[in-house]
Amino acid sequence: MKSVAASTILGIGHYVPSKVVTNDDLAKLMSTSDEWIQQRTGIKERRYIEHSGIGASDLALPAVKMALEHAGLASEKDVDAIVFATLSPDHNFPGSGCFLGHKLGLPGVPALDVRNQCSGFLYGLSIADAWVRGGVYRHVLLVGAEVHSTGIELADRGRDVAVLFGDGAGAAIIGPATDPDQGLRSIKLHADGSGAKDLWLEAPASAYVPRLTKEMMDEGKHFPAMNGKQVFRWATEKMPEVSRAVLEEAKISAGDIDLFVPHQANLRINQLVCQKLGIPESKAVANIEKYGNTTAATIPLGLSEAWREGRCRRGSNVLMAAFGSGYTWGAAVLKL
């Protein structure tokens, strides 16, 4: 295949489970309240899988089918590679991309899992863009999907983390841009491991022998832990910083942005980021009140909903930005 000038999103889709879990539902399990959660996060409810046995690749499947339909493509003949971003894979190994490829009926199609947590979709977008522009693959299926509900501690000890997360999936078809004015204009990625333990899951871990013990479980080390103040400080500094960098490289201003799709970790973070960038909140996606933090799924889920609501269209300038565990962060400017 020949190289191309630019890649773009040809189709976008999303899916969330039907089970709605409100703040009042969580208040029955831990010492919290609807008011407490909303004031600190902006979250009113989130979605959980309906029953055991549903993994990230299962949530991805309907999102992929929506994205393919939007792009006017068929998975059996038009998907050349899969990039699957998740921190909650179906199993520790193999990757969820392999499970998804099998469910889509794509034997032989390469599948790569990306483990960059909240920044996973943007890291995956960078990979897909390079593959398409380099002529390696024509159509790359890029997925962000998470099942958090089976891995959080629904009790007082885990409250600060448990109230944040929900289950969901988003998918995009990345392919050649046909219009010379269209496509991914700039993308920048960063990481700083000095903050790795500010938001992490300690066990099970290959660093320990054995990887998981009863003592670790008694201490709750198999549940995610977060230093919320540090994450907030870093996110509100790095998301505007990297967003300005991609805007500058793309040679457009914040005023030229039609839609801002920030990672949905905390409504207060995104309000402050909008303020620092000079982007009106009316131009920003804010669906955290419905879904909570769906990690790698938040950006494609938000973009898919916005597209279907008529908030963006072909020719729209879209800014995407994320910050998360690692620490990892990034931003991208795309003309749809």
Question: Which residues make Cβ contacts (< 8 Å) with residue 330, sequence separation at least 6?
Answer: 119, 122, 123, 126, 187, 188, 189, 190, 242, 321, 322
Residue 274 appears among annotated catalytic residues: no
For residue 253, the tally of other CB atoms under 10 A from its CB is: 11
Residue 118 appears among annotated catalytic residues: yes
Q: Which candidate in 263, 274, 287, 312 is catalytic?
A: 263
Q: Which candidate in 14, 70, 118, 317 is catalytic?
A: 118
Is 226 in contact with 199 (CB distance < 8 Å)?
yes
The C-alpha atoms of residue 198 and residue 324 are separated, in whole angstroms, by 10
Q: Which candidate in 23, 287, 293, 317 is catalytic?
A: 293
Residue 293 appears among annotated catalytic residues: yes
Catalytic residues: 118, 263, 293
